[in-house]
Amino acid sequence: MKIEPCATALANTGTVIAVRGGVVDVVFDAGPLPEIEHVLSVDWDGEAALVLEVQSHLDPRTVRTVALQNTYGLSRGTGVTATGGPLTVPVGDTVLGRLLDVTGAIRDDGRPLAPDTPRQPIHRRAPKLVVRDKPSALLETGIKVIDLLAPLAQGGKAAMFGGAGVGKTVLVMELIHAMAQNYHGISVFAGIGERSREGHELLSDMQHSGMLAKTALVFGQMNEPSGARWRVALSALTIAEYFRDVRKQDVLLLMDNVFRFVQAGAEVSGLLGRLPSRVGYQPTLATEVAALQERIASVDGVAVTAIEAVYVPADDFTDPAVAAISAHVESQIVLSRTMAAEGMYPAIDPLASTSALLTAAVVGDRHYRIAEQVRATITRYQELQDIIALLGMDELGAVDRKVVDRARKLQRFLTQPFAVTEAFTGKPGCSVTREQTLAGCEAILSGQCDAWDEGSLYMTGTLEQARAREQAAQNPPSAP
């Protein structure tokens, strides 16, 4: 992809004087220096276009830039042309159903975009507070534990926090599948530091679900330079903002993985020679996260709803990157390695997961009451686990034994098979409405299922499906 300079920048050319990985220094002999966050186009004979983004002015003639593509083969003395503006990406209906990279170039081997496709700069100010809408409407996902204990807001931001291998990407894929059935707006997916395998699986799943026609995919893969992974989230967000501000359409923005956005920023910061901050992160960590998160907002009745996966390094939820991201979201879905080890999928911690919408004023008195009772029951069970491990269930009182039994049944009822894992588990995925989830939890809390085997509630959908399984277990078909 060739980025054309604007008329005012045609005479502003420079020369590469240093290449250090993804950082390139450029000297200009005449004319004003390009502004910070403006891009330069490299005039070389490489296989692909090379775009540099200005990060600092070293002296009145020299700028330090970050490359958004691989700099392999770039040498000193190569010519550079200032474009006169920041990086722009294509927006509008023509990008729906397409896979783009950080610069907006097509990467799905399909037809090129039309020359008159509108483009917008990736760097924009966040909407002012006075024009923002407060998220309040519930976004039903069909996933029981989320809809019950960490409900999502339409026009809000939700983050799924978890360490490696606990199911963040699977949960994002299932949410995409659920939205394909229940959500009728535009979707934009930002793959930040994604593996090639994950990107290919996502593209295939979206094609099969029929959701691809209303989705734009923007990828900065794991093997790309840190500059691409650092800016790809802004490219995807720019596409979402166009549909919100110009087309007045609701947008679902999915990002996997936001931690790699922070990680790429730390790599760029180190390459630029900045002193690191806590735990080796960039000193501008909070500013960079805020610049991304505060642009995700609902304006004039049009919602941008963000669902973000966040890797938690070494399962340390006090990590500065995790803390910086969590400060900007309304719903926090925490995945537990302990629950994953016990086979409780989705491995969402019912006690650590929270939502600002879980109030009686938003979800209603009945939902709030049931959610609090579920949490209280599971909390009491966890308090008794040490006693159970040492002395056994027989040493508990009758009341505590009943609490433990109901808590274990609640934990199993809040598991469910996913559509995206059907090929591995052999169990068809199921979607459960919020009302069905509330009815099931209410029945367990009231003792209607005390005589049931807890296995009847494991990996099932509604309470009716669990009841049918229980009856089948109690009345097995007679042998011929």
Q: What is the CA radius of gyration of the chain?
A: 26
Secondary structure class of 28 (helix, strand, coil): strand
- Per the residue annotation, which of 157, 168, 231, 406 is the catalytic one? 168
Q: Is 128 designated active site?
A: no
Contacts of 392 (CB under 8 A, 6+ apart): none
DSSP 61: T
Q: Hey, what long-range contacts does 264-270 have (CB within 8 A, 24 or more apart)?
A: 264/192, 264/193, 264/220, 264/226, 264/227, 264/228, 264/229, 264/230, 265/230, 267/22, 267/226, 267/230, 268/22, 268/55, 268/66, 268/226, 268/227, 268/230
What does each C-alpha distance from 303 to 152, 164, 247, 297, 363 come to in angstroms?
A: 13, 31, 12, 7, 19
Candidates 193, 183, 179; CA nearest to 263 is 193
Distance CA 109, CA 200 (A): 13
Candidates 187, 173, 190; CA nearest to 257 is 190
**Is the Cβ–Cβ distance between 67 and 227 less than 8 Å?**
yes
Distance CA 275, CA 52 (A): 22
Q: Which amino acid is at 206?
A: M
For 104, the token pair is 């907006």
For 16, the token pair is 């590469």
What are the helix (H) ranges across 56-102? Answer: none
Query: Hey, CA dihedral for 290, 293, 294, 295, is it positive or negative?
Result: positive
For 165, the token pair is 């291998």
Distance CA 254, CA 232 (A): 12
Q: Is 195 designated active site?
A: yes
Contacts of 390 (CB under 8 A, 6+ apart): none
Q: Is 168 designated active site?
A: yes
- Per the residue annotation, which of 53, 140, 174, 194 is the catalytic one? 194
- Per the residue annotation, which of 20, 195, 278, 366 is the catalytic one? 195
Residues belonging to the active site:
168, 194-195
